[in-house]
Structure 1
C-alpha cells in the first residue's frame, strides 16, 4: 500500500501491489486458479463468497499479485504501515487546567453552556444529537446561532490560513496578493488519483472555523466564549472575576504568577491558552483509534461492504471522496486527517430551519462574510467553506456549513444528484428548479462543476448507484473513534 497522500491505494493495482520480485514457479498454480475464478465470475473481478459480494479487483491484478489480492478482497490490508501516532503522555499542568475550563459552564452568561456543550467528547467533539442545524446560546439559551459547530477533533495539525501551498520562498507576500494570484492561476482538477497535483492549487487552505478566520486553537476558543449567540461571556473583566472564584484559581496563580488576576485580559489570554493546550495534548482529540486506522496497521479486517465502500470512496468514476478527504498516510507516516483543508463552493441548498435565513436578503457566503471581512472583495471566493475532516463524521447530527442535511445518505444524494437531477436537491418554484438557491446569482459561477462527481451534466447517469452509496456510508462508519482492534497473533 502506498503511504503517500498522492497515490490512493484503492482504485488501481497499487492497492495490492507486492514488492518487486520474480515470482516463483509454485505461484503459477495459484494464479491460474484465481484466473479461473475470475473468469467464472464474469471476467470483471467481482467475486462472491456466500451471500456477500466482494470488492471488485481487476483480473490483471489478480494474476500479478494473487496472495495480496486475496488478502485485499477478503478485507485485509496486504501492506500494513506503521503509523507515526502522537505520543501518549500525561497532560501538562496547563492542559489539566484547560480541561477544567473546557467543561466549565460558569463562564457562560446562562451558566449552562461550556465548550463541551457544542463539542461533545462522546460524539467526536461534534454537536450532540438532536441539536438542530444551529445551537442555541445567549443569556437564556434561546438565541440561535448561524452555523452548526464543526468538530474540534483532529485540528492539532491544522495549518494557518493561506492561499495555496506553504509560502516558503517569499514570506513577505500578503494575503491579498496571494488571493490575486490565486484568481488568475490555472487550477488542477481534484480527483482521488491526483491529490499531489491539486494540493499545489493556489486556493484558500487552512485556518479554523468554517471560514478560516482564525489560525490558532487559542483564538478559536475565544470566539464562542464571547460570541453573544453562543456562550456570551461578556467582558474579560467578567470572565476573570468568575475564574478567580473557581476552585482552579489556585492553578492560575501557580502557573501564571501572583499577578495573573491583576489584568483581566491577561487572565483570559492564559485561560484560552490552557484550553488550547488541552486540545493539543489530550489524545482523545486526535485518538486515531478507528477501525480504519487499525486496518491501515494490519490490525483489523474490513467487511465486504466496508471494503466496497472504500473502493467507491476512492473511485474517480464513483464517489471520488478521497480527492478532498485524503485517506492515505503522509510520506512521513502520519495518519490521514481525511481533509485537504482546502475550501470549496459546493452550492448546497438553503436551509430554511436557520432563523437567520428567514430574512431573504441574508446570505452566508463563507470566506467573503458575514463573519470574515478581510476577503469580502475577493468575490471569486464567495460561497467557499472549509472542507471538514470525515473522522467521526457518522456521529454528526447535521452536515455542511448550514446543517441542511441530517444523514449521510442525504449528503451522498447531494453529490450524486446535484447536477444530473437538480430537482431532487433544490426547491422548484413556478416550474423552475432554483439551483444554488443559497448563493446570490453573482457568486454562483464559483460553485465547483469541475471535480468529479460534480462535473456531470443535466440528465446524465449519476456517478453512484444506491448500493455504492450504502457501501460508502458503511466505510465512513469505520472512521469513528473507539474501535477495539484484533489482538496481534504470536
Structure 2
C-alpha cells in the first residue's frame, strides 16, 4: 500500500477517473497533489502510452514495490518490454527519491555527478521521463507523434492538458510530448516518491529507537575509520542530517561481476561488457568506462536485485561483496549465492581502488549490523514487505 495520504489507481481505474474528470479542479480534488502532479500520476499508470497498450511507467517502477520492478526480481533478470519478450541489459533502479538526483554535470576536478539512468544520460527527470516510451525494448512507441496521438484519444487528457498547460498543448507533438514529461516529472517530485518517513527518519525525529544491531550499523555506516560506505552513500556532510538520500550521485567502477543468468536470456553476446558512464553521449574519456552512478540506499532492502546488472539477490551479499576487497580470508572471496568466486571485474583498469579498499575487514556481526541499519531506510509504507 502507498502511504495513508494516497491510494494508487490501477491503469484501468486511472482511465475511468480521467474519463469522468472535469478538468484541472478534479485532478486536484484529493491527496494534496497539484493539478500537474495529479495528471502525472495518471500518466505514470497509463498502459495506453506503450505500443501494445500493455505497459506503463509503473510496470517497471511499481509503487507497491518501492518503485522498482518486482515482476522478475526472483530471477535477477532485467525488465520485460511492452512486447512481452524483449529484455533490457540493465536492472531498473528504484524511482523513489529520484527527485533528489542533481542534474548531470562535471565537477572542477573532472569527475561526473548526477543525471538519471545508470549512466546519467538523462540530465533531469523531464528528460528521463521521455526515454522509456520511445525505447524499442521498453514501451516501444516509434515516435513522439504516436505518443501524443494516444494522449489525444482520451478526451479527458485533452481537457486536462489544456487546463494545466494551454488549450492547444496536444495539437503539437513537440509541445504535447514535452508537457507529458513535465507532468510525469512533477509527479515524481511529489512526496509520494520521497516521504522521508522510514524508521531512520523517525529515529532522527525522536519518534523511534534503533535496536542495538541497527545502532551498531549506523555507527559503522557513518564511520570514517571502519567502513567506506559514506564515501559514496552520503549526500550531506552531517551524519544526522534530515532528508539524507544516501548517495552523493558520483560514478564508480566497483568491479561488479558478470551476471551469467541473464546473458543468454537478454540476447547479449557472451563477452558483453556494459560501458557504463562511457555509454553516455556526453562522456568520451575511456577512463570513465565501467563506472555507474551511485544509487540511493532509500528502500534498498525491498528493491532487489542489486547492481546495474541485477547480479546479487540479497542485500547481505552486496555488503559481503564490498568486504572482499578488505578481507584476506578465503571464505570472503566466495559469493554465498553461487558458492563460487565472485568473478573478475569486467573493466579492471578503472576500478575505484581507493574507495573500495578503505577500512578493515568486517566480521559477520558487523556485516549483519550494516544490513540491519540499511533496512531502517525503508519507507513506512513498505515495512510490511520486510516481514514477507
- Point out 4+ residue stretches in structure 1 off by more than 3 angstroms: 129-132, 315-319, 327-334, 355-358, 418-423, 431-434
- Of 386-395 and 90-99, deviating more is 90-99
**Corresponding position: 1:348 with 2:256:** yes
Residue 350 of structure 2, aligned match among 434, 439, 446: 446
CA contact (8 A) 1:367 1:384 kept: yes
Q: What do the CA deviations read for 1:332-373 (whole angstroms, capped 9, x no partner)?
A: 95521101111111011111123357413421021112xx23
Match of 2:322 in 1: 415
CA contact (8 A) 1:368 1:375 kept: yes
With normalisation by structure 1, the TM-score equals: 0.65
- Higher-Rg structure is 1
State the distance in 1 between where 2:300 and 2:341 align.
33
Residue 98 of structure 1, aligned match among 25, 31, 40: 40
State the distance in 2 between where 1:159 and 1:311 align.
27
**Corresponding position: 1:364 with 2:306:** no
Match of 2:290 in 1: 383
Residue 160 of structure 1, aligned match among 103, 106, 116: 103
CA contact (8 A) 2:257 2:342 kept: no
Residue 136 of structure 1, aligned match among 69, 74, 80: 80
State the distance in 1 between where 2:84 and 2:381 align.
35
> Could you tell me how far 1:432 is from its partner in structure 2?
10
Q: What do the CA deviations read for 1:276-301 (whole angstroms, capped 9, x no partner)?
A: 11111x21111000010111111110
When residues 481 and 248 of structure 1 are mapped into structure 2, their CA distance, relative to the original with a 3 A threshold, is same
Equivalent residue pairs, number:
345
> Could you tell me how far 1:478 is from its partner in structure 2?
0.5
**Corresponding position: 1:469 with 2:363:** no
Query: As a proportion of its length, which structure holds more helix?
Result: 2
Equivalent residues in 2 for 1:76-475, closer than 5 Å: 90-128=32-70, 130-131=72-73, 132-138=76-82, 140-164=83-107, 182=109, 202-246=110-154, 247-280=156-189, 282-326=190-234, 334-355=242-263, 356=266, 358-369=268-279, 372-376=280-284, 378-418=285-325, 420=328, 421=330, 423-425=333-335, 435-436=344-345, 438-439=346-347, 444-451=348-355, 453-455=356-358, 463-475=361-373
CA contact (8 A) 2:61 2:69 kept: yes
Match of 2:18 in 1: none
When residues 209 and 142 of structure 1 are mapped into structure 2, their CA distance, relative to the original with a 3 A threshold, is same
Q: What do the CA deviations read for 1:363-397 (whole angstroms, capped 9, x no partner)?
A: 1021112xx23313x01111110001000000112
Q: Secondary structure at the match of 1:373?
A: coil
State the distance in 2 between where 1:147 and 1:141 align.
17
When residues 468 and 357 of structure 1 are mapped into structure 2, their CA distance, relative to the original with a 3 A threshold, is farther
State the distance in 2 between where 1:285 and 1:434 align.
35
CA contact (8 A) 1:392 1:480 kept: yes
> Could you tell me how far 1:115 is from its partner in structure 2?
0.6
State the distance in 2 between where 1:249 and 1:102 align.
16
CA RMSD of aligned residues (A): 2.9
State the distance in 2 between where 1:483 and 1:402 align.
27
> Could you tell me how far 1:320 is from its partner in structure 2?
2.8
CA contact (8 A) 1:418 1:425 kept: no
Match of 1:17 in 2: none
**Corresponding position: 1:478 with 2:381:** no
State the distance in 2 between where 1:445 and 1:332 align.
36
CA contact (8 A) 1:314 1:321 kept: yes
When residues 483 and 237 of structure 1 are mapped into structure 2, their CA distance, relative to the original with a 3 A threshold, is closer
Note the residue ranges of structure 1 that are not aligned, 5 or more in a row: 1-87, 165-177, 183-201, 457-461, 486-490
State the distance in 2 between where 1:129 and 1:257 align.
38
> Could you tell me how far 1:107 is from its partner in structure 2?
0.6
State the distance in 2 between where 1:368 and 1:330 align.
32
State the distance in 2 between where 1:285 and 1:432 align.
37
